[in-house]
Amino acid sequence: MAGKYLRNKMVSMGKNFSVLNSCVDKYPHAPPERVFAEIRSVFGFASAFAKTALPQDVIIKPGFAKIRYVKNNVPYLVQEDSFLKKGEIIFTFDDGPDLSSQGIAADMLMVREPSIFFVLGKKLNSAGRAIIRAENLMGHYIAVHGYYHATETDAPYTAYPTSKILDHISLVSDMIKDAAGAKPLFFRPPYGIMAPDALESVISDLKLVPLGWTIDTLDWSVKSPDELFDKAIALIQKRGKGIILMHDTQPQTAQTAGRLVIWLKDNNYKIVSPERITRAFYKD
């Protein structure tokens, strides 16, 4: 195979860019992508002359969100928060409902502004339904994450055709309306991964506002509540405002949310209503 030959040749030549260039010239039959893939796999970097032609960003709404193609052509929802002023924070919690959810929901109300809970349809058994109903009564927004997370095997939505994605999201939207008593307004694709055409269908057909995040606490990866508290504060201070992503499935998050809200209040941050998001999305 040309690839194997090229690999051996390159290893023997070392990391000499001009020689690599001539290698590419010498083997015109090898498709360039293949050649560059070989170079990457041998040397572990994308060479300066490789054409990494990822598709262009797809603007979902100017100043609000876009889809950006990242490594391996993965369509990734990039959220913007220009509609938030410095010091303004919106909390979002994913992957519930869970045992911790209601405690978090109560803690968040210490600032009298609601948060958004992006829930999974598969967790809406009778206990889950009771939790989101209680959250809704507290004034929080229950929103659609997916039925599974996102496919049955936790693969992103890019593994499903658009029609199936819409079926799932529509089902969860109905489940939420039925259990919580209010039609959801927001949708967040698991991992933030979704093809632009599927996302556009969710917006136009299901009337949901797509929402990513601008501060990812990676709370699932920090098991100590004290560490998570310090980390979240550092991220918030660094950015100065934002849409915060946490998970109400994580015990350490449940132990941190209340402290975080108090700290933000004492340090002149303002937790604002998710209505700010719908206003920003639907304006014009």
Site of interaction with Zn ion (CB under 5 A)? 94-95, 190
CB of 188 to Zn ion, least distance (A): 7
Residue 55: CB partners within 8 Å, gap ≥ 6? 69, 73
CB of 192 to Zn ion, least distance (A): 9
Quick one: 6 or 77, whose CB is closer to Zn ion?
Answer: 77
Alpha-carbon distances, residue 136 vs 106, 180, 247, 260 (angstroms): 11, 6, 17, 22
CB atoms within 10 A of CB 213: 20
Alpha-carbon distances, residue 242 vs 91, 119, 214 (angstroms): 9, 21, 5
The answer to whether 146 and 121 are in contact (CB under 8 A) is: yes
CB of 105 to Zn ion, least distance (A): 17
CB of 95 to Zn ion, least distance (A): 4
Q: What angle do CA 279, 282, 284 make, to 5 degrees?
A: 110
Closest CA to 255 of 215, 235, 227: 227
Q: State the residue number with the nearest CB to Zn ion.
A: 94
CB of 190 to Zn ion, least distance (A): 5
Quick one: 190 or 274, whose CB is closer to Zn ion?
Answer: 190
Alpha-carbon distances, residue 208 vs 66, 199, 219, 250 (angstroms): 15, 10, 26, 26
CB of 247 to Zn ion, least distance (A): 7
* Cis amide linkage into residue 50, ω under 30° from 0: no
